[in-house]
């Protein structure tokens, strides 16, 4: 099957330069080698899985500086921000798995009904086999290695395809992963569209893709001939709703932080704000103060504000600035791929900035009358990956959460739900399907096999033909 695969970035579609492959990819040979590794049984023992997770943790700690340098080169990420969101995040995930993995892998006993007795039944978690992880560029360490943690822990062999749009990080991962992890169980493939096409043409036991909906559809199309299950972590326009009862200062600060982290290049960043009518001016002024507090009078000079990943995405974002009036920011510099933290006023629902996921440091602000209008506004669009509601009034929170559907949600916060390892992370509808993080990662990369063991005696004739009237009465009574 030949499938056209666009670049695998997490943002709305743009044309990006193709990265030259370091070597010609022989995808069938790679798949055959890894399948042989899986068939050997090497990945099944719990001790092997734990050893690989510990080795991955060692990679993140020993080679932290190289990873941080790569993240700075690709996205201008501040070191603390990069460590917390890319490296520290994965370390926490690994530690959680090491704590719980033995319990998760134990067969789970279940009760059996009278009709099957004497018998015992259990659910056995077994690895799926060969997994493909296609990662995006915006958090290129976290979104490559966090799903890899789940795949390894479940006992799979894995091919990891980092994004060519973050070439420095891709190169570091391709160099370091074989130094620390079993090369017969984990492989990193660099490259761009041709390499992704070649990989998707193979048969996989599971594919996890993080990116945009257009490429997500391509992944599903490629998976369909083999009936390969997919997990799609997509995006969408995640709203932040501010009720009249909200603590406006806290709302402004937390929305500004969630929006301008990584220069807005976060799949769950607040994409736009619906604020109670009459509070717009105050909210915008509070965000202005937050920008000053976070990044100083000139955010361009701040070491704590990241950059847009490349020229194509920069040009797309600059074009969106014309969708409204910049009330905060609006400045930009193509030479350094800098776009200031920006708040747009005078935006309409029909404005270009409201038609696609922004994926940059631009925050449209629209007034709404109340929670009911906010719910109607959100429900008039595709289901978002995240939703944020700021309110002290519990009835407002209930109205929003019960009246909308989103991959995840926060009340009086942004982004932090992904930091809770016990919470599955995933989308719904246009924002994705399936979930991972913590136990959800182990589950998504495992098959829950039902096993029943029945004694050979007694073996009553009741279960076998011929079906007499007496057998029917007994069956109806005890089944």
Q: Which of 233, 280, 357, 430 is catalytic?
A: 233
Among residues 177, 179, 83, 72, which one has the least CA distance to residue 133?
Answer: 177
Counting Cα atoms < 13 Å in the Cβ hemisphere of 273 gives 31
d(CA 216, CA 209): 7
CB-based burial label for 452 (10 Å; 0-12, 13-18, 19+)? exposed
Residue 267 annotated as catalytic: yes
∠ CA(435), CA(436), CA(441), 5° rounding?
130
The residue among 258, 265, 235 whose CA lies nearest residue 77 is 265
Surface-to-core class of residue 319, CB atoms within 10 Å of its CB (0-12 exposed, 13-18 middle, 19+ buried):
exposed
State in Å, rounded, how far the first CA of the chain is from the last one: 49
Residue 126 backbone zone (phi > 0: left; psi -120 to 50: alpha; other: beta): beta
What b/e sequence results for 366-390 when a residue is b if at least 16 CB atoms lie within 10 Å of its CB, and e otherwise? bebeebeebbebbeeebbbbbbbbb
Q: Closest Cα to residue 187, out of 144, 146, 220?
A: 144
| Full DSSP string of 271-309 | -EEEEETT-HHHHHHHHHHHHHHHH-S-GGG-TT----S
Contact 159, 198 (CB under 8 A): no
Of residues 195, 267, 280, 430, which has the active-site annotation? Answer: 267
Catalytic residue list: 233, 267
């Amino acid at each position: 099957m030949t499938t056209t695969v666009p670049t695998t970035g997490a943002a709305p579609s743009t044309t990006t330069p193709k990265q030259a492959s370091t070597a010609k990819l022989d995808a069938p040979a790679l798949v055959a080698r890894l399948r042989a590794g899986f068939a050997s049984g090497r990945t099944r023992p719990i001790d092997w899985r734990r050893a690989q997770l510990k080795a991955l943790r060692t990679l993140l700690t020993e080679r932290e500086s190289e990873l941080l340098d790569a993240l700075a080169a690709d996205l201008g990420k501040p070191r603390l921000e990069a460590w917390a969101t890319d490296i520290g995040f994965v370390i926490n995930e690994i530690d959680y798995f090491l704590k719980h993995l033995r319990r998760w892998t134990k067969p789970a006993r279940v009760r059996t009904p009278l009709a099957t007795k004497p018998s015992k039944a259990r659910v056995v978690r077994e690895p799926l086999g060969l997994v493909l992880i296609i990662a995006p560029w915006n958090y290129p360490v976290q979104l490559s290695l966090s799903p890899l943690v789940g795949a390894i822990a479940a006992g799979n062999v894995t091919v990891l395809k980092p994004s060519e749009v973050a070439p420095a990080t891709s190169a570091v991962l391709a160099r370091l992963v074989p130094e620390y992890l079993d090369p017969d169980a984990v492989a990193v493939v660099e490259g761009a569209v041709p390499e992704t096409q070649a990989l998707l043409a193979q048969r996989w036991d599971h594919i996890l893709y993080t990116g945009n909906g257009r490429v997500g559809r391509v992944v599903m199309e490629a998976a369909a001939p083999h009936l390969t299950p997919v997990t799609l972590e997509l995006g969408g326009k995640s709203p932040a709703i501010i009720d009249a009862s909200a603590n406006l200062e806290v709302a402004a600060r937390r929305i500004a932080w969630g929006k301008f982290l990584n220069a807005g290049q976060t799949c769950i960043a607040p994409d736009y704000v619906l604020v109670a009518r009459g509070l717009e001016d105050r909210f915008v002024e509070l965000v202005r103060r937050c920008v000053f507090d976070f990044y100083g009078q000139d955010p361009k000079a701040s070491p704590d504000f990241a950059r847009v990943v490349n020229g194509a995405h920069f040009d797309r974002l600059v074009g969106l600035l014309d969708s409204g009036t910049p009330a905060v920011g609006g400045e930009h510099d193509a030479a350094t791929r800098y776009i200031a933290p920006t708040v747009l006023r005078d935006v309409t629902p029909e404005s270009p900035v409201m038609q696609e996921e922004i994926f940059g440091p631009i925050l449209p602000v629209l007034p709404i009358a109340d929670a009911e209008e906010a719910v109607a506004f959100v429900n008039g669009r595709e289901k978002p990956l995240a939703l944020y509601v700021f309110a002290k009034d519990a009835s407002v929170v209930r109205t929003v959460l019960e009246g909308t559907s989103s991959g995840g949600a926060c009340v009086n916060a942004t982004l932090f739900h992904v930091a809770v390892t016990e919470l599955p992370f995933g989308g719904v509808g246009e924002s994705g399907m399936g979930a991972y993080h913590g136990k959800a990662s182990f589950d998504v990369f495992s098959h829950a096999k039902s096993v029943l063991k029945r004694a050979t005696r007694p073996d009553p004739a009741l279960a076998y033909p011929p079906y007499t009237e007496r057998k029917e009465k007994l069956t109806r009574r005890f089944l």
